[in-house]
Amino acid sequence: MMQISLYLGQPDFVDALFRGTTLEKTMQREEFEPDLYEAACAQLARHGLKPPGIVTAALPASLPPAKEEDVENPGYYWLRYCLSLKPRWADILATYAQYLSPRWGGGDGEVEKFAAGPLCSALNEQERNDVRWPGVLDALTLSGYPQPGDTREIAAKQKIFKTWLARDLSDRLRFISLGQYANFTNYSLADAELARQRHVESIRYCKPPGTYPAIDGPFRDFTYLMLIKHFEDHEGAYVKVLQTAVRRFEEPTMLTVAAFAWQFGMWGIKADPAIATRLIERAVQLEPLHEPDEFTPMHACRMMWDGGFQKEATYFTRAFAERRAYSAAASMYDITNGIRPDTDPELLDDEEAGRWLELAVDDGEPVALYNYAWRLENVDSLDLQERKNFERVRNFYVGAMNGGVEMAMIKVASVDRRHGTAEEKQQAVADMKSLVDYHDDHIAGEAYGQVVLAYKYGDGVPQSDFVAMQWFDRYKQLFPNHSALEWMETQVYGSTGMQMAGRALKAFFLGKKLSSEHLPPK
């Protein structure tokens, strides 16, 4: 309850029970924001719990009454209750401190103040350092590790690391801290060999069955060194990580890399495809229990690919895709369609690519929705004058747009501008005008292009070659290297010098002049 309250907010029905009132209506699943509901379920799942089917009508009798200040900070209430059950509970104090860090909205120094405060006064120095760690981690990583060559920032981070590592740390915290130091060494110092040595040193402090607290960060960096830099595991440190992952059987990305090792006999592990298959099956089972991470099984497969293990990466990507897990069908489409650079020709298969694309669309993968809509429009040449075809293609683009594919915004407007109703055409042009200042230059340039074509052909706005040329000239001035510039110029001015001069003169002297509201922004 402490973690739920700090992470997601205390549930309304619990607040009502503390007030001695009841809610007139409890929220049903479909009323929650999907991301919030899934995050809550994932948090509960870590403790072997499921969302209750029936909301409790009374608080447990053992709970003390809430104080006035607990209304604003229910997490503190649950912390005090935890400490009443188990005084000097160092782990729960460290967990609470995490939510005081700047990463979670806390102020600078708030974690240190808590570690030095009365609730932590009975802890020994190692335990207090466990409480301090969230604040130190934020100081090291919240703004990201500095770029190589940024000597001032690198020196500042190194000073924090050296000061911290000189403290009295528990073995587990030293393992975690050295892992971060290794990650910093590889990224900021660009010293892969020293980074590997520091990863190896960190693993010496990792006592079974312990492992990394998060899959992104040091584990990802260590994996990068092994897969991309092709280091040997002479000390057996990386294999130890994978063996622990197999014993714990609970982290899908680690299990994916372990499956790679057991399938193909990597790093001194004897090949055993049967074990590898069980690991993949387990990774698939775990998918619903894990929130999206920065280093997923698909990221691990891509890292294998980037390390030169194309066929091996394809093997695991296909294994996940056949089990409809981790949106792997979309990755299989990329592989078999040759979208990835330097793809082995043996992996290319147009028919198979089409099948994977359709499966990825069924999975609702945003990029797949975009690719499928583009294919219907440009390869299958679907007649978008027919309303059902128009809506089909448009809906796929809208799905991609809602999934964060920015170029889909342009495609929705393009389809609407060319084939929509009069109202849809007008809205498309208005939407594109609103994007000409977009933060991504490519998208902004595409938006300019759509407005140029709208005035050129009178789609949603009055037809005017003169205004189209004004928009194009502004587009060319702002985005001289845009990929569509040359094609757009032929649409507006023509492809030869004579055509360009003639169209420009005709537009100026004979073209329809519109009010200034139709002209591009200066």
Its domain, for residue 76, covers 1-85
Residue 508 has a pLDDT of 46
Q: Which of 56-65, 350-359, 412-421, 456-465 has the lowest mean pLDDT?
A: 56-65
pLDDT in tens, 147-205: 999 999 999 999 999 999 999 999 999 999 999 999 999 999 999 999 999 999 999 99
The answer as to whether 257 is a domain residue is: no
Q: Which of 25, 50, 85 is the last residue of a domain?
A: 85
Confidence band for 137, pLDDT divided at 50, 70 and 90 = very high
State the DSSP string of 82-135: HHHHSTT-HHHHHHHHHTTSGGGTPPTTHHHHHHTSGGGTTS-HHHHHHHHHHH
pLDDT in tens, 191-247: 999 999 999 999 999 998 999 999 999 999 999 999 999 999 999 999 999 999 999
The answer as to whether 496 is a domain residue is: yes
Q: Which of 32, 60, 85 is the last residue of a domain?
A: 85
The answer as to whether 189 is a domain residue is: no
What average pLDDT score do residues 467-494 get? 89
**pLDDT exceeding 90 applies to what percent of the chain?**
76
Residue written as tokens 């070659």?
465
Confidence band for 504, pLDDT divided at 50, 70 and 90 = very low
The answer as to whether 465 is a domain residue is: yes
State the DSSP string of 245-280: HHHH---HHHHHHHHHHHHHT-TTPPP-HHHHHHHH
The answer as to whether 456 is a domain residue is: yes
- Number of domains within the chain: 2
Residue 495 has a pLDDT of 54
Give the pair of three-digit tokens for residue 4. Answer: 């739920």
Residue 517 has a pLDDT of 84
The answer as to whether 304 is a domain residue is: no
Residue 501 has a pLDDT of 44
Residue 68 has a pLDDT of 80
Specify the DSSP class assigned to residue 420: S
pLDDT in tens, 242-301: 999 999 999 999 999 999 999 999 999 999 999 999 999 999 999 988 776 789 999 999
State the DSSP string of 205-216: T--TT---SSST
Residue 55 has a pLDDT of 60
What average pLDDT score do residues 455-464 get? 93
Q: CB under 8 Å to 92, separation ≥6 — which residues?
A: 2, 79, 82, 83, 86
The answer as to whether 43 is a domain residue is: yes
Q: At what angle do helices 465-478 and 485-492 cross, to 10 degrees?
A: 160
Half-sphere exposure of 190 (CA within 13 A, CB side): 6
505 vs 227 pLDDT, higher one: 227
Give the pair of three-digit tokens for residue 304. Answer: 């294998």
Q: Report which residue type is found at 448.
A: Y
Report the distance separating Cα 301 and Cα 238, nearest Å: 17
pLDDT(89) > 90 = yes
Residue 53 has a pLDDT of 61
The answer as to whether 393 is a domain residue is: no
Residue 52 has a pLDDT of 63
Q: Which of 56, 85, 114 is the last residue of a domain?
A: 85
pLDDT in tens, 31-73: 667 776 777 777 677 666 676 665 666 788 889 988 888 878 8
Residue 41 has a pLDDT of 72
Query: Peptide bond before 209: cis, by omega within 30 degrees of 0?
Result: yes
